[in-house]
Amino acid sequence: MKFYELDSAGSRIQSEENISDHKFMKILSIETSCDDTAISIMEAKEGITNASFKILANNSNSQIKIHIPYGGVYPKLAKREHLKNLPIILEASLKQAKLDKKNKPVDAIAVTYGPGLEMCLWEGITFAQSLGKKWDVPLIPANHMEGHVLSVFGKDRGKFKIPKIVFPILSLLVSGGHTQLVLTKKWMWYEIIGETLDDAVGEAFDKVARMLNLPYPGGPQVSKLAEKAREEEKQSLRGVSQAVGPRGSASRARGDSDPEKISFPLSLPRPMLHSQNFDFSFSGLKTAVLYLTRKIGKIDSETRAQIALEFENAAIECLVFKTKKAMEKYKIKTLIVAGGVAANQHLRNEMQKIVGRNIKLLFPTKELSGDNSLMIGIAGYLNYIKNKRKVPRLGSIKAIGNLRL
Ligand code: KG4
Ligand code: ZN
């Protein structure tokens, strides 16, 4: 993408990365990469390392209910919903920010251009382009995954600042479409050092949820079940219910002489745990759950919870093990864990265990773990500064479904 000099945002073109322009700039940000339609308006100022933000509006519409019957995101439906909801959310956001839509309400528009579902990305982009034209303001294309990385600095209301960061940073990005370990040696610089070779971890959570007859989106549901089973297991280890634990009941149900008997505790594979790289694989784990559920047949609620627990343990162990290895190799000082799966409490707890005193661990707030437009506003603004306030021509921005960091 070509970048052009810009002065229409009313600001000088700066030559330094760390400009100190104390004038606030208003940015409207749009996110439509998957099934959330989201718009925020923020005031932003200062350079990359000391940028500060004030949220004026933050609104989104989740399409979860619409996609439930399909057991996953149905792209054509998602596209239609974005088209329908974008103007409604824009109105609400301008009202919330007390801005007049007729009077050039913002200085720039940040919009997600990838990665994601291309037909959904296009809805956000064309909407942003029409606003950009109408208001005569520039468009800043933002990478959704960079948004996830930067989401750890955000809040969902009020003001926030980019804090002091010690490099190198390692980011574990875990979402419905990605599982990546990313090394950052300086601001806005990314090197993918490992990633999934097949399914993303969030996708595996969602597919396992479907196998367990849990509704979409399954990640939080599997995790809720696993959490409960983990708690019960802890209780039983404390001797509260050692005699008739959930494992006992399921094996009894099949009878001890049954050769097809499922043995408890369940044991699922940890694919690529000891591979000599930082890559992941979750499709084998998912398939192992499929075979297990087929073997069991009718699954009672205790067994379902045991499967959720073992699946979550296996998936999170893979993430944590490789992250730890990468942290050691690259002498990491700051660890970021972001993306939808970063909402997972077990992942949070296990990550906490592997960081020593000298490593800062950053998670997004639970509100900012999933897709949101605030992270797009942050990524948009910081890129604007990084690119010395140059932006691509309005019409040249294209959706890139498989955009990389
Ligand atoms: O980042 P995100 O909102 O959207 C994408 O960019 O993909 O991530 C969504 C993914 C889904 O797969 C969802 O099931 C998963 O994040 N997820 C979770 C949890 N909350 C959301 N997975 C495991 N445990 C959770 N608590
Ligand atoms: Zn995402």
Which tens digits make up the pLDDT trace of 180-229? 999 999 999 999 999 999 999 999 999 999 999 998 889 999 999 999 99
Confidence of residue 265 (pLDDT cuts 50, 70, 90): confident
pLDDT given at position 1: 61
Q: Does any ligand 1 atom lie closer than 6 A to the CB of residue 177?
A: yes
Mind listing the pLDDT tens digit for each residue in 111-129?
Answer: 999 999 999 999 999 999 9
Instruction: With a cut of 50, say whether residue 14 has pLDDT above it.
Output: no
Q: pTM of the predicted model, to two decimals?
A: 0.91
The rounded distance, in Å, linking the Cα atoms of 305 and 222 is: 8
pLDDT given at position 3: 55
Mind listing the pLDDT tens digit for each residue in 353-368?
Answer: 999 899 999 999 999 9
Ligand 1 site-directed mutation target among 68, 178, 341, most atoms within 8 Å of CB: 341
The answer to whether 336 touches 169, Cβ cutoff 8 Å, is yes
Confidence of residue 65 (pLDDT cuts 50, 70, 90): confident
The rounded distance, in Å, linking the Cα atoms of 377 and 350 is: 30
User: Where is pLDDT greater, at 83 or 68?
Assistant: 83
pLDDT given at position 173: 99
Instruction: With a cut of 50, say whether residue 251 has pLDDT above it.
Output: no
Atom number, ligand 1, closest to the C-alpha of residue 203: 12
- The pLDDT mean for the chain works out to 90
Ligand 1 site-directed mutation target among 203, 205, 403, most atoms within 8 Å of CB: 205
3-state SS, one letter per residue, for 153-221: HCCCCCEEECCCCCCCEEEEEECCCCEEEEEECCCCCCEEEEEECCCCHHHHHHHHHHHCCCCCCHHHH
Nearest CA to ligand 1 atom 16: 340
